[in-house]
Amino acid sequence: MQQSLRLTDTSIGKKVAMAASGVILFGFAAGHLLGNLQVFKGAEAFNSYAEWLHAHPQVVYPTRILVLFSLGMHVWSAWTLWSRNSDARPTPYKKKQDLATNYAAQTMYATGPLFLAFVLFHLAHLTVSPEYGFMGLTEESPFANLVSGFQHWWIVAIYAVGVLCLGVHLRHGLWSMFQTIGASHPKYDRYRAWIANLFAFLITVGFLSIPAGVMANIVTL
């Protein structure tokens, strides 16, 4: 029997899955940043925010499930599109000149997995370690964990690389999302890159401001 075409069978359908899950992951990153910027309000505000999260599993668990599901969808669509795209040109060019693309678009398959690796490190560092008391971290004060974490240059370095990967990934990803869902109009097209760059910049600077604040002794114990 002949099968009907389903959205997820097609390359565009997979790109829609990529865009939809990407927007959810971006939303989480933005929310995570806004919450954690409270570190600049001091230990009490930051710790009470953390306590509030612990006291509201009805908020935290659905969010975790949604983020995990979106991550799965993002990785699945990236993997299936990557394998389709790499099969589409079996013999590479001897010479190939790029006319229009940019570094952000060309490094999507590098910045994505690198950022995912950073997220695993980040979870191990600030979510898992305090439970087991690694590196002197405790569950008492997430604020103290954050400040003491960013005392180590190598943690700051890993964090900065991770955040920069996210920023570069978002620069192409957010712009691409508009195109993939068909949001295009001659009058507004020039704003698409502008909006993508602005949000990528805000996310990057926002996340980098936290270790910078610790290193500049603005955020201290």
Contacts (Cβ under 8 Å, ≥6 apart) of 152: none
Contact at 8 Å (CB) between 125 and 149?
yes
Shortest Å, Cβ 197 to other proteins: 14
Q: Which stretch binds other proteins (CB under 8 A): 6-14, 40-48, 113-121, 131-139?
A: 6-14
CA 30 to chain CA mean position, Å: 9
Of residues 73-112, those binding other proteins (CB under 8 A): 81, 84-85, 87-101, 105-106, 108
Q: Residue 164: name the closest of 97, 127, 118, 123 by CA.
A: 118
CB 173 → other proteins: shortest distance, Å?
A: 10
Burial class (CB in 10 A: 0-12, 13-18, 19+), 99: exposed
11 near other proteins (CB under 8 A): yes
Using CA of residue 33, residue 35, residue 38, residue 39, what is the dihedral sign?
Answer: negative
Which residue of 16, 33, 147, 200 would you call a contact of other proteins, by CB under 8 A? 16
The residue among 207, 129, 108 whose CA lies nearest residue 162 is 207
Residue number, 61 or 191, with CB nearest to other proteins: 191
Name the minimum Å distance from CB 66 to other proteins: 22
- Per rule CB under 8 A, is residue 187 in the interface with other proteins? no
Chain positions 129 to 158 lying near other proteins, rule: CB under 8 A, are none
- For residues 144 and 57, give the distance between their C-alpha atoms in angstroms, rounded to a whole number: 23
Would you tell me which residues interact with other proteins (CB under 8 A)?
A: 2-7, 9-16, 81, 84-85, 87-101, 105-106, 108, 172, 175-176, 178-184, 186, 189
